[in-house]
Structure 1
Amino acid sequence: MGNNDIFEMMANRYDTSERIQIAKVASDAIREYLVDADRKSAIDFGCGTGLVGMNLLNDFKSMLFLDTSQNMIHQIKQKISDFKIQNADTLCFDFEKESRPDLRADYIFMAQVLLHIQDTELVLSRLYDVLDAGGHLLIVDFDKNENIASDKVHNGFDQEILTELMSKIGFRDIQSKTIYTGSKIFMNHDASLFVLDAQK
């Protein structure tokens, strides 16, 4: 995944109060779309230090924390051990480089991850393949923001264009809405976050 070297360096100081607050906004938004999740498996895709996934751990039967950064995964393993969590596992893997058809999940969620992925269609297609029939992909990310110009990340996403792309991949029953607006939350710019739910 893009910017992996940056995340490797940030891992042990990633959990700031701002990130914890945004993670709560994201996990609350994701929770609204869960159905019978206590019998289902989830993947926290691009989990970072697991701020979002940890909030949702008790909602699911099992959860796989997946990230491209070994240092981020190390932070998660420490939390799993410290809190004696029984229903979670970890995997360090990069879906931009290869696919993992052996992985299966009922729910995949990704919070502020898509903006770091260069080939969004490729990765979303690979995640579609991982989902069981009827499974859901939930994305929390920034609305498109023309004030941001970066060669490291996308400047957010237009919800309609993203919905069209996901329909093309095969997702159905796609719904999205803006859930939060904050001051200086995206590369020091005011920005809004949306949640998108899509079903296989």
Structure 2
Amino acid sequence: MCFRGRCLLFSEGQWQEEDGQLLVSWASRFYCNYVIFVGVLLFIVSSVQLYRLSSAVLRDADASFLGAFVEAAGCAALCTACLAAAAAVTLGLITWCRNIMERFPSCKIADGLDIDKKDQISTNGFYVEMGTAQFGAWGAFATCVGLTVFSTLKLCRYHQLENIRVSMYRERQRLVNEAAAGAPSPERCSTPPVAVAAHN
């Protein structure tokens, strides 16, 4: 597939009766650039997480509450970004295929056909490539949803452990204070001087 720097997503066009070509009104490259950006971002984040978790396993250390919170928030943000990218690929491809199906029974049939000589685009393999991109985008979204759920559960577990630690500390302080208040003072335990003199 070669669209010479143009973005297929959300592009529309009109079929010309005289030559049978598709006069395309190309959409903004923002849609394609955004999908590529999300893919690169996922690769970078995955690499960083792989290194961080591997280091934590080797050091036999666990993340802190703040680290778990940042991880959960990051997963939620990536989940939103992946959803937007998947929706852009799906809806953009539907818009393009709607134009193709005005002349062909299915969008797949236009794969490899010379439908736009003016812009010198090549449609070879576009249907498979866009289908792969669509599958990858929704797969990334599903993965991010799972990671968001697990990271949220981890955050809740850390929160419960933190509450238990605080409760144990407060209970220990209460017991120490009660023990200190209930213990007899040295003045109470000593024998009065008058009583000692009378005894002698």
Q: TM-score range by the shorter chain?
A: under 0.3
Q: Which has the larger radius of gyration?
A: 2
Going by fraction, where is helix more abundant, 1 or 2? 2
Relative contact order (C-alpha < 8 Å, sep 6+): which is higher? 2
Higher strand share: 1
The two structures have a TM-score, normalised by structure 1, of: 0.21
